[in-house]
Amino acid sequence: MLKEILSIAGKPGLQKMVSNSSNAIIVESLIDGKRFPAYSNAKIIALEDISIYTETKDMPLKDVFKIMYTKENGKAALSHKESSEKITAYFSEIVPDYDQDRVYISDMKKIIQWYNLLAEKEILSFSEENEEKEETK
């Protein structure tokens, strides 16, 4: 699910990988639907490769989104533009043992913003994942 959703430094929001070309990948903005090439010299990271520092071990972003999805019943969370206190309190509910020295308020805002964008576009779906796990058993 999150393999094809990318964060590209310098570009707002998130992008979905559409196809590959010889020297770039073609991505589509989740915000406005415009397609453009992303070259290998750009800082590109798939959301699946991101994790959050906790006091014990790193938590994959996918797990953070799953907790938010369950808490919000698949709907949007609070706005990333809320006060720092509200964002910190919300994030503490979701990931109570996050590493307070290494997870900054800007990281929390970005995670909430990404979650809300994915929820709005109905890209988050954890029921398929559960079905896949059951099929492999």
Instruction: Report which residue type is found at 47.
Output: L
Which residues of the chain form CATH 2.30.30.730?
Answer: 5-47
Distance CA 102, CA 91 (A): 14
3-state secondary structure of 86: helix
For position 40, what pLDDT does the model report? 87
How far is it, in rounded angstroms, from Cα 18 to Cα 41?
A: 18
HEC secondary structure over 96-126:
CCECCCCCCHHHHHHHHHHHHHHHHCCCCCC
Q: Which run of H or E residues covers position 74?
A: none
The CA distance from 73 to 38, in Å, is 34
pLDDT of residue 130: 47
Residues linked to residue 19 through DSSP beta bridges, in sequence order: 26
Task: Classify domain 5-47 by CATH number.
Answer: 2.30.30.730
- The domain at 51-127 falls in which architecture? Orthogonal Bundle (1.10)
**In the chain, which segments carry CATH 1.10.10.1650?**
51-127
Query: Phi, psi (5° rounding) for residue 20?
Result: -110, 145
Series of mean pLDDT values for 10-residue runs along the chain (137 residues): 92 94 93 94 95 96 96 95 97 96 97 96 73 43
